[in-house]
Amino acid sequence: MDEEIFVCRCEEVTLREIRDAIRSGHTTLSELRRLLRVGMGPCQGRGCREIILREIAKQTRVPIEKLYPAKFRPPSKPVPMGLVKNNGV
């Protein structure tokens, strides 16, 4: 068996887990985010988003250009809660 490859470093999700999830029908990034928490950690998916989209593209045979990368919400960097509490938007 191949050694584990961590795709989402923040949430420690492996390539195998992602492939299994896609194979069992979770073929959008939004679903994978809810299921595995990929791309939901402090880096907000900067490192793994494209690798995951490429995996989805490979398995669903939909070109990556046609895939939707899921929603982006602020904050895009970790912000201590105390700061928001005192100066909130």
Partner 1 sequence: MNLIEKHPILQFEHGKKVKFTFDGKEMEGFEGEPIAAALHANGIKILSYTEKYKRPRGFFCAIGKCSSCFVIVDGVPNVRSCITPLKEGMAIQTQYGRGKFSQEVQKDED
Partner 2 sequence: MKTDVLVIGGGPAGLCAAIEAASFGCKVTLVDESLALGGQLIKQTHKFFGSSDEFAGIRGIEIAKRLNEEVNNRRDRIEVFLNTSAVGYYPDEKLVSCMTAEQKFFTIKPEKLVVATGAFEKIVPFPGNDLPGVYGAGAVQTLMNVYGVVPGKRVLMVGAGNIGLIVSYQLLQAGVELAGIVEFAPKIGGYWVHAAKVRRLGIPIYLRHTVKRALGEKWVEGAIIQAIDEKGDWKGEEKKIECDVICLAVGLSPTCELLWQAGCEMEYVSELSGYVPKRDETMRTTHPDIWVAGDASGIEEASSAMIEGKIAGLSVAYSLGRVEEFFFKERLAEFWEKLNLLRGGETSQKIKIGVEKVLLKKDDRDNCLDIQRYAQARSESQIIQYDEKFLSGVLNNQMVESVLPPEALWKNKKGGLVIVECPQTIPCDPCHTNCPTGAILPFDNINDLPKIDYSKCTGCALCVASCPGLACFVVDLTYHEGEKAILKLPYEMLPRPEVNQEVLCLDREGNAIATGKVIRVQEPKKDRTLVVHVVVPRKLVNQIRAIRVIKNG
| Nearest CA among 43, 63, 7 for reference residue 72 | 43
Pick from 1, 2, 24, 25: which binds partner 2 (CB under 8 A)?
2
Q: Site residues for partner 2, window 35-64 (CB under 8 A)? A: 44, 46-51, 64
Judged by beta carbon distances under 5 to 8 A according to partner kind, the member of partner 1, partner 2, none in contact with residue 61 is none
User: What's the residue count for the chain?
Assistant: 89
B/e letters for 53-89, b = 16+ CB within 10 Å, e = fewer, are bebbbeeeeeeeeebeebeeeeeeeeeeeeeeeeeee
The yes or no reply on residue 23 touching partner 1 (CB under 8 A) is no
| Binding region for partner 1 (CB under 8 A) | 6, 9-10, 12, 41-43, 46-47, 77-78, 80, 82
- Which residues are near partner 2 by CB under 8 A? 2-7, 9, 15, 44, 46-51, 64-65, 67, 69, 71-77, 79-80, 83-84, 86-89
